[in-house]
Amino acid sequence: MPRAALLVSTALLAALMPLSAARAADDPSPTPVDRFEGEVPFAAQPAEGIFTWGGDSDDPPQLQFADRADAPEGAKVLAGTYDISGYGGFTHDFAAAEPAHDWSAHKGIRFWWDGQDNGRKTAFEIKDGGADGEASELWTTSFTDDFTGWKQIEIPFTDFVYRTDYQPVGGIDHVLGLTRMWGYAVTLPVGVQGRFAMDDVELYGKADQSLRASVTTDAAVYPVREGGTASVKVTVATTGSAPLDEPVTVGYETAGGTADSGKDYTPVSGTLTFPAGTASGAAQTIKVPTLKDRSAESAETVPLKLTVTGAKAPAETPQVVIDAHGLPYLNSKLPVKKRVADLLSRMSPEEKAGQMTQAERGAVGTGGDVTAYDLGSLLSGGGSTPTPNTAAAWARMIDSFQLRAQATRFQIPLIYGVDAVHGHNNLAGATIMPHNIGIGATRDPRLAEQAGAVTASEVRATGVPWDFAPCLCVTRDERWGRSYESFGEDPALVKSMETVIQGLQGRADGRDLKDNDKVLATAKHFVGDGGTAYGSSTTGSYTIDQGVTTVTRQQLEAIHLAPYQTAVDRGIGTVMPSYSSLDIVGDGQGPVKMHARADMINGVLKDRMGFKGFVISDWNAIDQLPGDYASHVSTSVNAGVDMMMVPYSYQDFTATLIDQVKAGQVSERRIDDAVSRILTQKFELGLFEHPYADTSNAARIGSAKHRAVARQAAAESQVLLKNSGSVLPLKKSQKVYVAGSNADDLGNQTGGWTITWQGQSGTHTTGTTILQGMRNAGGDVTYSQDASAPTSGYDVGVVVVGETPYAEGVGDVGNGNDLALSAADQAAVDKVCAAMKCAVLIVSGRPQLIGDRLGEIDALVASWLPGTEGDGVADVLYGRKAFTGQLPVTWPKSEAQLPINVGDASYDPQYPYGWGLTTLTKAPQGGTATLKALGAAARAAERRGADATGRDLVTRARLLVQAKVGQSVTAAVSKPFADADHLLLTGRYAAAVEKLAEAYRAA
């Protein structure tokens, strides 16, 4: 049959109905949704029918229409098996070409389930409103498989709640309308092999007004100063905004809580009535007066109990909160240290444990657990965004969570964190900077600071005071999927780019953290994350990410630890340990996960380096430690981790931490140290005085001024590797043929960690592609992505190729990725470059192997991942600005060379670290004599401390050497050339020129 959901006659249905489905006399006939007798096809998303899905290739269940003699209805059932490690289930999307289904006449939905008595919960979800099944609101509930054999599961529509952890589109109206339904989905249990069978999905019962009407309050928490009056707004609303059919009454009374009736507040009680015919959205107000008793005290609660008839009651009892007052920690004039000590002295073990806990915002729903568990922090993981994904919605969401914190005893504000690693990258419409590898290519510390400042401004304007950035990893093997998060392979380069910390936080003493355009920064991932050995990872299918870094003590200090001392000196507020393990040769410990290395976190970071901020774990990182969960908690806390990112297991963490303290496995002194560090940063951020979002800078998000910084960064990040015949810069008079997969793809251009964790191809935010930038520059451009259009009649071709987005270990080489161009990209390069002079731009998070095509390519550009501002790339292509970028990592000839880095004893790359041709500037004339003179001048500049002069002299020497070398890049040239750039970054200008002279003689 053509329809995915059959609508059969009442008479036929009555004949088919099992006896157990007998209905009340006044109920409408049940309406079948799925009978699984062949009317529903299996399909691939997003086609009509049933399709499976899962977290990875093994997670989707296996489904079939199975003949069952015991089928509750008909001959067949939907049967399946599953073994899910991440998440998995199946969906039935109704036909988008047909009208949406109207379920509003019914009480709920029911189906038969073949129970296995496994005690696990199975989530059941329905799709409401929107254009189709994949653009609708998701409403969810669950049932427990605690029975054996067939059982009819009945779910009233009143049991469904709006999903807050994930909405594919959402934001339609947040009301379960039931008049435009597009299907349902089943999410199966995780961590157990199982089977199931399902039959006869149908609608049942008669809808009543309590389904269509609901009573809500405008907030869950109402803070009020002592002596003030709280106003609780009570609203009645109906599906479809129809007037009430019947009266709705709301009885109310103040009862319970921690405040004393008559002493702290005046008790109130009564009834609100919304008569029949009342318009949807009508509201009345209940006022709760509080009283002054003039004594200093913590916050006190006054629950306002509501009893509703004729409509669905609010999900929870609203709380009036009389603000804490008169206590020393609330006095902003006291030194932070005294405020911390006073607050800490008042806190219970449970409150301290809560401060050390960070949950994912999707896990806490509307935020009730923020209060219940005294949570100290929430985060948005990559792609965890409000609906709609706007700056205003971010601010509203975070303010709603902060409001929950106001219902705790001491009203300690939350600190909310996000991974804004190249701009506010979770927010649609934000300014997206080049990833760090591109910032490293600019060699411009001032620009790095400006990029950090733009990011901080946009992040703070959405109510977020904490950024999990910058990544101070020193990438040593470009097979690593996080390579692009690094500024480069040389610790000296990473250190030079740490000006970004001042852009994010302001001055090193923390005095600017209260400002509405600054955020707390995070140095990550401590320590050695960029040095893991290929093949050492034990995380899923990862090959190198989260693996083992094996180094001598000297290598550890010189390469991986060096950037952290700089970060501490710059006042970094938080540090995040790495998932990876550290194996220090000769220390006798072997590989130890960084979250367990007390010698590094307590010993080196906190004691030796003098880090005064707090340490935040990575996402569920403690779960990778050996032993049981109790040992995970005690080991990591004792190692020096102050706050634990336990996104969905925060309840287990807080309970276990308290138990471990009681058992003597974690000392109270250690807990107090951790909580003091966390509270200190909250006070420094000014959150106690201003917990809510300051959106006064919201208009600057994605502004022309901010995008100008990103545009400059994109331009300066472009590294010109080859330019035979001066193909670049292009001239506006030239007819240009543009091709390649990444010429007009904003998602590929911005890479991973953009809107979602892994990023995605296509247009997902606001920005300008490289192709659009070229057109904006006034170029005469013709575009053919696959180069299928005729190639005759053009002056020059520009082929933009490279990678598609990925993040973390998902991007590891060997995990479905390599360093070669795709077949389509290779074909586009071959066709265009055979037909005309050509420039090839590689948009990627790491070098791509291009050596076999270098002969046919006239100009080659490493474009990295330039962000949303393709105009910046066009600026250098068309000569509005010069190419000035330099390689932040070594460009290898083959994958077999990896790892290959500046300073290696054997060093023969395609292009050395520091390589970067220029345009619009002629290289200095002369040879060894000129280099000798530049060296002498550099030595004098070094003695005078004239750093700008010294850098300029080395740059002139580098350009002179590159002009002689051309494309004859040999090992004898490469090694001293790369060493020279390292020496430049360490302020040894004369030695750098000497190395360049050595490269010149070898050319």
- pLDDT single digits (tens) 349-407: 999 999 999 999 999 989 999 999 999 999 999 989 998 899 999 999 999 999 999 99
- Kindly give, in sequence order, each residue whose CB lies less than 8 Å from that of residue 69, ignoring residues fewer than 6 positions away: none
Confidence of residue 18 (pLDDT cuts 50, 70, 90): very low
Q: How would you label 741-773 residue by residue, b for 16+ Cβ within 10 Å and e otherwise?
A: bbbbbbbbbbbbbbbbbbbbeeebbebbbbbbb
- Kindly give, in sequence order, each residue whose CB lies less than 8 Å from that of residue 51, ignoring residues fewer than 6 positions away: 42, 43, 44, 45, 90, 91, 93
Helix, strand or coil, per DSSP, at residue 68: coil
Q: What is the mean pLDDT of the chain?
A: 94
Q: What is the pLDDT of residues 401-431, one digit of tens each?
A: 999 999 999 999 999 999 999 999 999 999 9
In this predicted structure, the answer to whether residue 1 has a pLDDT above a threshold of 50 is: no
Beta strands, E only, 13-70: 31-34, 49-54, 62-67
Distance CA 672, CA 352 (A): 8
DSSP string for 345-389? HH--HHHHHHHTEEEEGGGSTTTHHHHHTT--EEEE-TT---SS-
Q: Which of 17-26, 288-297, 529-538 has the lowest mean pLDDT?
A: 17-26
- pLDDT for the residue 25: 53
User: What is the side-by-side strand order in the sheet with 229-238?
Assistant: 213-217, 229-238, 282-289
Q: Which of 183-192, 457-466, 987-996 has the lowest mean pLDDT?
A: 183-192
Q: Is the dihedral of CA 194, 199, 202, 204 positive or negative?
A: negative
CB 709 within 8 A of CB 454: yes
- pLDDT for the residue 5: 32
DSSP string for 81-119? EEE-SS-EEEEEEPPTTSPPB--TTSSEEEEEEEEE---
- pLDDT for the residue 46: 63
In this predicted structure, the answer to whether residue 3 has a pLDDT above a threshold of 80 is: no
- pLDDT for the residue 14: 37
- For 653: left if phi > 0, alpha if psi spans -120 to 50, otherwise beta; the answer is alpha
Q: What is the pLDDT of residues 509-556, one digit of tens each?
A: 999 999 999 999 999 999 999 999 999 999 999 999 999 999 999 999
Confidence of residue 304 (pLDDT cuts 50, 70, 90): very high
- pLDDT for the residue 170: 66
Tell me the angle at which helices 928-944 and 947-965 cross, rounded to the nearest 10 degrees.
160
In this predicted structure, the answer to whether residue 272 has a pLDDT above a threshold of 90 is: yes
* Residue at token pair 């138990």: 659
CB 436 within 8 A of CB 866: no
The residues annotated as belonging to the active site are: 618, 808
Cis peptide before 388 (omega within 30 of 0): yes
* Helix extents (H) in 556-613: 562-569, 598
Q: What is the pLDDT of residues 871-921, one digit of tens each?
A: 999 999 999 999 999 999 999 999 999 999 999 999 999 999 999 999 999
Distance CA 131, CA 121 (A): 30
Q: What is the pLDDT of residues 598-621, one digit of tens each?
A: 999 999 999 999 999 999 999 999
DSSP string for 691-740? -S--GGGGGGTT-HHHHHHHHHHHHHH-EEEEEGGG--S--TTSEEEEES
Q: What pairs with residue 141 in β-bridges? A: 124
Q: Which of 168-172, 771-775, 936-940, 973-977 has the lowest mean pLDDT?
A: 168-172
Q: Is the dihedral of CA 587, 592, 598, 601 positive or negative?
A: positive
Distance CA 556, CA 562 (A): 8
Beta strands, E only, 585-715: 592-593, 614-615, 644-645
- pLDDT for the residue 98: 84
Alpha-carbon separation of residue 796 from 538, 701, 722, 853 (angstroms): 48, 37, 15, 17
Task: Taking residues 742-747, report their average pLDDT.
Answer: 98
Distance CA 395, CA 10 (A): 50
* Residue at token pair 């090959």: 543
- pLDDT for the residue 10: 34
In this predicted structure, the answer to whether residue 23 has a pLDDT above a threshold of 50 is: no
Q: What is the pLDDT of residues 702-724, one digit of tens each?
A: 999 999 999 999 999 999 999 99
Closest CA to 570 of 509, 639, 518: 509
Alpha-carbon separation of residue 29 from 71, 152, 177, 731 (angstroms): 21, 17, 20, 74
- For 306: left if phi > 0, alpha if psi spans -120 to 50, otherwise beta; the answer is beta
CB 206 within 8 A of CB 107: yes
